[in-house]
Chain A
């Protein structure tokens, strides 16, 4: 069982679609993250939110748009994605930005 919940678990979308990935944690963690992971590679940091404010954007293309509605929720809005964006998208949370992270199960995204 994971304490970080991500939905959906799988997503197939066309390049013109708009969709959102959702992440929720109830551990009181103040840092939340989005990672992208390709097969046989380490997680690649995309965004970091600290106390609900965006603190790190790792030069991610604007077709990915993060949102942190409150301290428990993190969204990733997707628009006009490319086939190379197909990957496992992981959400994580931690007490602080360099503290151990708890990961969700991820969303497996396929772009047609």
Chain B
């Protein structure tokens, strides 16, 4: 069935280092969404990408949507301890009804 795959599963960095997580779908997506979940918290919506090749920035975070709309990435420049958490991508699929499918998530930990 349609899946949304995300790598890596875990990433540990030194504060100040960059971080990237990648998301891939077996099918073309109409949009890709990114969420962040802090330890002990709930997922919080970060951004939605809709257009082929789209790039969006939020301060130190850069989000990209691939030309074929099958892959996406989230890059954090110069990580800070506040970036700790699990980052999920999510894409809509159609299995009977439309629903959002989450990737497995990338858990980011940071050494201060």
Which A residues lie at the B interface, using CB under 8 A? 2, 40-43, 45, 48, 50, 55-56, 90, 92, 97-98, 100-106
Contact = CB atoms under 8 A, between A and B. Distances in A.
Interface size class of B (residues with CB under 8 A): 20 to 34
A88 to B, nearest CB: 8
Interface of B: 30-31, 33, 41-45, 48, 86, 88, 92, 96-105, 107
Nearest to B42: A103
Interface majority SS (helix, strand, loop, mixed), chain B: strand
Given A40-B107, A42-B104, A97 B42 contact: no
Contacts, number: 52
Given A42-B102, A55-B97, A56-B99, A100 B33 contact: yes
The CB with the most chain A CB atoms within 10 A, among B45, B98, B100, is that of: B100
Nearest to A2: B42
Given A40-B107, A43-B43, A90-B42, A101 B97 contact: no
